[in-house]
Amino acid sequence: MSKKHIGVTVIFYKKNNNLYEAVKSSYIIENASNFDIFKIKLSFKVKELLNFNFKGYKFLGVNDIYISEKEGENNFLGRSSFYEYNSLEKSKEFILKENELEVALIKSTEFKKKNISYVYFNKDLEGKEFYSTIIIYSQTKGNVDLNGLLSIATSKLFKEKILRYSIEKLNENDLIFVGIADLYEIKNSGLFEQKLDVKSIIELEDEIIIEENIEQAFNDVIKDYEYVS
């Protein structure tokens, strides 16, 4: 069984004409057994990224702290939950249409390291009020074909990873694979990336864990996942 690692998603941004161009990027923070060590290692990581990967950007803050596998093909590298998308039909709003997926697959042959986002509808055992859409982030390398990706997403092995690295109790049979949300190149050495343009910095600040809550968020992750360094 693979070890659990602390993952952190951070946001960098810069002004681009009338918009703010932002990048959410996630990284593993190794051997962070307490918050003081985590904070120091994260600070060094952010400085390194600003110097090499995100020149011209500013660091906004921490978006999420979670548990991840190590970086690797078909590993669990993070997730997003959308509780307002609480039906199978709403989950389908995230996925690429067939023609869009074909284009993404062809374009991905040019990429060295690819992020792939799998969409699942979670039919929670506790009742309809807990139904949600879950997007799982992973990586794939080399030339990929659709059948191979679908085989991974629906496999017992991959679903077991989702159960292991999720904070809530999920049931494998109620985790319904819906489709693929995205397939794109990772350019900035992260586990996965998401790019977005917003009109106001306030829109980005709403996605940041406020400074005084970061330690609690870290401790919650340590407690809930029985972190293994």
Residue 23 has a CB neighbour count (10 Å cut-off) of 21
Classified as helix, coil or strand, 108 is helix
Classified as helix, coil or strand, 182 is strand
Listed range (80-84, 87-91, 94-98, 207-211) with the worst mean pLDDT: 80-84
* Cα 77 from Cα 191, distance rounded (Å): 6
Cα angle 22, 23, 26; round to 5: 150
Percent above pLDDT 70 for the chain: 94
Per residue in 179-225, pLDDT (tens digit) is 999 998 877 777 878 888 999 999 889 889 999 999 999 998 887 65
Cα Rg for the chain, rounded, in angstroms?
18
Amino acid, res. 5: H
* pLDDT, average across residues 114-135: 85
**What is the reported pLDDT for 227?**
40
Residue 197 zone, left/alpha/beta (φ > 0; ψ -120 to 50; rest) = beta
Q: What are residue 58's phi and psi, to 5 degrees?
A: -115, 150
Classified as helix, coil or strand, 154 is coil
pTM listed for this prediction: 0.80
Cβ contact 53:188 at 8 Å: yes
Buried-exposed string 157-189: b where 16+ CB fall within 10 A, e elsewhere = ebbebbeebbeeebeeeebebbbbbbbbebeee
